[in-house]
Chains A and B, each alone.
Chain A
């Protein structure tokens, strides 16, 4: 089944180190702040803002399959976005990804601006 939204080029695969994260903005007007991860050669994407106090997760630390918030060390499971350890309790938005021509693409729903 086709997922709603539009694929946007986020970042070159080579710009992400293994087991690391980079922060990008995607969308027609750069309205989505997205964290793109490379874990064991596979790419994932989540919202870049922590659901606790909006710290930028791409400033945080990747530990195994988790991203740890740089401010209060709450952890989210990267593939599912699930909140794993306090103080975070609300799951993180995840986005489908695909790799084409050496770049990571992220599927996001564009926001309609008036």
Chain B
């Protein structure tokens, strides 16, 4: 496979396998630590929402809680790679927990995301290509709103639950795994139906206030972060040019399980999140790095690529 050969060739030129093997060592402790921090924050912002009930403070509180819930994409992503924990069952359990809260079918995401790693930034092949050029302001705003992601994911969830697999999914999900995709969607829908039934039975709005509403408004934050990973980077299979690392502060890095080191992650996805900082120290001068944080990346995109209309963009 041409794309894969290119990735391996570039990686071998950048870092020897012996070093990668050391970086790739797995453990359970780092993941459990990050997960505890994550759920501590979720409880904290959930408590803020509770305190703000009945006042206008509810608006910022729900947004803040939604942003923190949106960062659950990070452990969902890491566990989908199987690199968050050394122990397979622990990895799968956390994948399911995050996927249920995040409302992403977990195994479907794993197949979908694997394909993205194979065909990163290859137009018409990369199924997670974010805002290919030329980019209009409207396309940017629609993407960052997260609306399209909700439409896509809910459509997959309910179609799978009904036993329908879109022909386009055959490209990344092997046919022998389709029954599993249907099963997982049915399990998820059953759990959500159970939560809804309990909420109705007890006359409680808690799932809406503490989960659904924050999830919907918070998705924008996840999309905004995701724009920085590949948008505006070169198209093609060269991992040193098709993915961007965004240097940011330790709090944001921790919230996103080191995914801001995205170029390193794509260079070698079997290096677990907790070793990406060390990996970055070894390869930072060989990959694409933006050192001004996420606002700077977005500002650069606006300067260089985002235009009001098609046909008016520069390089």
Task: List the interface of chain A (C-beta within 8 A of B).
Answer: 20, 52-56, 59-61, 63, 68, 70-75, 84-87, 89-90
Chain A, interface SS category = loop
Give residues 155-187 of B contacting A (CB, 8 Å). 174, 176-177
A72 to B268, CA, bound (A): 10
Residue of A nearest to B106 (CB): A86
Tell me how far the C-beta of B76 lies from the nearest C-beta in chain A, rounded to whole angstroms: 14
A74 to B117, CA, bound (A): 13
Interface string of B92-116 (1 = CB under 8 A from A): 1000000000000001001100100
Tell me how far the C-beta of A8 lies from the nearest C-beta in chain B, rounded to whole angstroms: 24
* A61–B24 CB distance below 8 A: yes
Instruction: Provide 18 A-B residue pairs closer than 8 Å at the C-beta atoms, listed in order of the A residue.
Output: A20-B21, A53-B1, A53-B4, A55-B1, A55-B8, A56-B8, A60-B270, A70-B268, A71-B4, A71-B114, A71-B118, A72-B81, A72-B117, A86-B107, A86-B111, A87-B174, A89-B177, A90-B174
Give residues 67-104 of B contacting A (CB, 8 Å). 81-83, 86, 88, 92
Residue of B nearest to A61 (CB): B24
* A71–B111 CB distance below 8 A: no
Tell me how far the C-beta of B276 lies from the nearest C-beta in chain A, rounded to whole angstroms: 15
A73 to B114, CA, bound (A): 9
* B4–A54 CB distance below 8 A: yes
Chain B, interface SS category = helix
B17 at the interface (CB under 8 A from A): yes
Which chain B positions have C-beta within 8 A of A52? 114, 174
* B1–A61 CB distance below 8 A: no
Tell me how far the C-beta of B77 lies from the nearest C-beta in chain A, rounded to whole angstroms: 12
* B26–A53 CB distance below 8 A: no
Tell me how far the C-beta of A100 lies from the nearest C-beta in chain B, rounded to whole angstroms: 27
Given contacts A54-B1, A73-B83, is CB(A86)–CB(B177) below 8 Å?
yes
Smallest CB-CB A-B distances: 4 pairs: A72-B114, A73-B82, A87-B114, A73-B81
Given contacts A63-B26, A71-B4, A72-B269, is CB(A86)–CB(B110) below 8 Å?
yes
How many residues of B are counted as interface, with CB atoms below 8 angstroms from the partner's CB atoms?
Answer: 26
* B88–A75 CB distance below 8 A: yes
Tell me how far the C-beta of A101 lies from the nearest C-beta in chain B, rounded to whole angstroms: 27
Which chain B positions have C-beta within 8 A of A68? 82, 270
**18 further interface pairs, Cβ-Cβ under 8 Å (given A53-B114, A61-B270, A70-B268):** A52-B174, A53-B4, A54-B1, A59-B17, A60-B270, A61-B21, A61-B24, A70-B270, A71-B118, A71-B269, A72-B81, A73-B82, A73-B83, A73-B270, A75-B82, A84-B88, A87-B114, A89-B177
* B117–A63 CB distance below 8 A: no
Which chain A positions have C-beta within 8 A of B86? 63
Which chain B positions have C-beta within 8 A of A61? 21, 24, 270
Residue of A nearest to B82 (CB): A73
Which chain B positions have C-beta within 8 A of A63? 26, 86
Q: Identify the interface centre among A56, A61, A70, A87: most chain B CB within 10 Å of its CB.
A: A87
Tell me how far the C-beta of B170 lies from the nearest C-beta in chain A, rounded to whole angstroms: 14
A60 to B24, CA, bound (A): 10
* A53–B270 CB distance below 8 A: no
Tell me how far the C-beta of B24 lies from the nearest C-beta in chain A, rounded to whole angstroms: 5
Given contacts A53-B4, A59-B8, A59-B17, is CB(A71)–CB(B117) below 8 Å?
yes
Which chain B positions have C-beta within 8 A of A54? 1, 4
Q: Identify the interface centre among B7, B174, B177: most chain A CB within 10 Å of its CB.
A: B174
Which chain B positions have C-beta within 8 A of A89? 174, 176-177
A84 to B174, CA, bound (A): 15
A86 to B24, CA, bound (A): 19
